[in-house]
A and B are shown apart, each in its own frame.
Chain A
């Protein structure tokens, strides 16, 4: 299987760029809970936001090599979609006036159901629609926002085929610009320190041998979840724009709690899946002598996801202090909105609490089944861990810092 894709370019702090946009790994559970959270709010243009934020990501892919023909650029967009775990796209039915695109496989259309308790109320493939509309515009060197979605069907609503019909707009919509690599502080990151037997270099060397590219269906089943090698700025744009819009509602603090919970869900499923996987047993477990080493070990794995570098500053069965160097949320926030006035590392806050809950409350070393009953048992306990962000790179601190304690 040969795909016509741009190589991802390694950056400092474990970050990676694809066509100058940062990419990071996230799973179907996070994708589901984040999208579900945003869709709670009606009448605030959230559905359009989910589509529009994806459009720029498709656009940058088909604009990245202007010497290629429109058909070659669309093939690159389809191959990138498959390589990064979003599914498969057939662009054969489009031209510069629009047309019909099919997605024979779709992460958002087919894989979010594993995280969903019941049927979907709305089609879940917002990302697919936006990516496709943006990719077609870019392939024909039209302005971003040149296409509208006329009709669509989606596997999430039990359609037999997923079809997206594009029509050319008479005047292009003004959409979000690409945010690019974002901005960090360029502070140097310390090595792993503290009382641990974890060898991060050895873990990274072992993980480098694993294949994290999309299979023939364009999906990435790994660690018991479906991964996507996603555009960081897609998450950033939809999360932060949601926050901007919630400022007028009197519910901003609560909406932020839900964004943090999406990160907590992510930790339970992705980190939990990793810590119960054969790969963990083969690579990390032999280095773990005590429960705290599990925290150091999973942070070493997290550091290959493209999220920045997570460093354990202090850890005990009651408390974790985590310092994150060059976190993707801060980088994206500053690029999109300038310096933040609030802490904005929602994924990191939820993820850090999730780690402690898995290791010290959920006894992940006993390999529990990672289902809703397990989640509710841990999250409803009187001693659930929760996070407080004490430093934030987006607010001007050199790194982001999160304290996790039992409530």
Chain B
């Protein structure tokens, strides 16, 4: 199972995590433990949001 640190590695990952939190209006995303396994639905939601924010 993926963790937030897997999905958003390093400092550039942190910036991406903030962008996703803004896009999803999800402040709790910034407070979640980075190493804790994510449930599949949330991981999928985050990965979908990443695709959106990575478009220009």
A379 vs B14: C-alpha distance in the bound complex, in angstroms? 11
Chain A residues 245-261 with CB under 8 Å of chain B are 249-251, 254-255, 257-258, 261
The answer to the question of A335 belonging to the interface, with a C-beta cut-off of 8 Å to chain B, is no
Question: 1/0 per position for B16-49, CB-CB distance to A under 8 A?
Answer: 0011011101010010000000000000000000
Given the known interface contacts A118-B55, A121-B52, A251-B30, the answer about A380 and B10 at a Cβ–Cβ threshold of 8 Å is yes
Interchain residue pairs with CB less than 8 A apart (29)? A36-B56, A40-B53, A41-B25, A116-B56, A118-B55, A119-B56, A120-B55, A121-B52, A121-B55, A124-B56, A249-B22, A249-B25, A249-B27, A250-B27, A251-B22, A254-B21, A254-B22, A254-B30, A255-B18, A255-B22, A257-B18, A258-B15, A258-B19, A258-B22, A261-B15, A375-B12, A376-B10, A380-B10, A384-B11
The answer to the question of A95 belonging to the interface, with a C-beta cut-off of 8 Å to chain B, is no
Query: Which B residues form the contact surface with A (CB < 8 A)?
Result: 9-12, 15, 18-19, 21-23, 25, 27, 30, 52-56
The answer to the question of A312 belonging to the interface, with a C-beta cut-off of 8 Å to chain B, is no
CB nearest neighbor in B for A381: B11
Given the known interface contacts A36-B56, A119-B56, the answer about A379 and B25 at a Cβ–Cβ threshold of 8 Å is no
Given the known interface contacts A41-B23, A249-B25, the answer about A118 and B12 at a Cβ–Cβ threshold of 8 Å is no
A255 vs B19: C-alpha distance in the bound complex, in angstroms? 8
- Whether B15 and A117, one on each chain, are in contact in the complex, defined by CB atoms closer than 8 angstroms, is no
A113 vs B56: C-alpha distance in the bound complex, in angstroms? 8
Given the known interface contacts A249-B27, A251-B27, A376-B12, the answer about A40 and B55 at a Cβ–Cβ threshold of 8 Å is no
- Whether B19 and A118, one on each chain, are in contact in the complex, defined by CB atoms closer than 8 angstroms, is no
A120 vs B53: C-alpha distance in the bound complex, in angstroms? 10
CB nearest neighbor in B for A250: B27
- Whether B54 and A40, one on each chain, are in contact in the complex, defined by CB atoms closer than 8 angstroms, is no
The answer to the question of A112 belonging to the interface, with a C-beta cut-off of 8 Å to chain B, is yes
- Whether B56 and A118, one on each chain, are in contact in the complex, defined by CB atoms closer than 8 angstroms, is yes
Q: How far is the CB of A219 from the nearest CB of chain B, in Å?
A: 19
Q: How far is the CB of B37 from the nearest CB of chain A, in Å?
A: 23
Given the known interface contacts A249-B25, A254-B30, the answer about A112 and B15 at a Cβ–Cβ threshold of 8 Å is no
A337 vs B11: C-alpha distance in the bound complex, in angstroms? 32
Q: How far is the CB of B6 from the nearest CB of chain A, in Å?
A: 15
A265 vs B53: C-alpha distance in the bound complex, in angstroms? 17
Q: How far is the CB of A392 from the nearest CB of chain B, in Å?
A: 22
Q: How far is the CB of A379 from the nearest CB of chain B, in Å?
A: 5
Given the known interface contacts A251-B27, A257-B15, the answer about A120 and B22 at a Cβ–Cβ threshold of 8 Å is no
- Whether A251 and B55, one on each chain, are in contact in the complex, defined by CB atoms closer than 8 angstroms, is no
Chain A residues 298-327 with CB under 8 Å of chain B are none
Q: How far is the CB of A155 from the nearest CB of chain B, in Å?
A: 12
Give the 7 A-B residue pairs with the shortest CB-CB distance, closest first: A120-B56, A250-B27, A380-B10, A116-B56, A121-B55, A40-B22, A254-B18
Q: Which residues on the B side are within 8 Å of A366 (C-beta)?
A: none
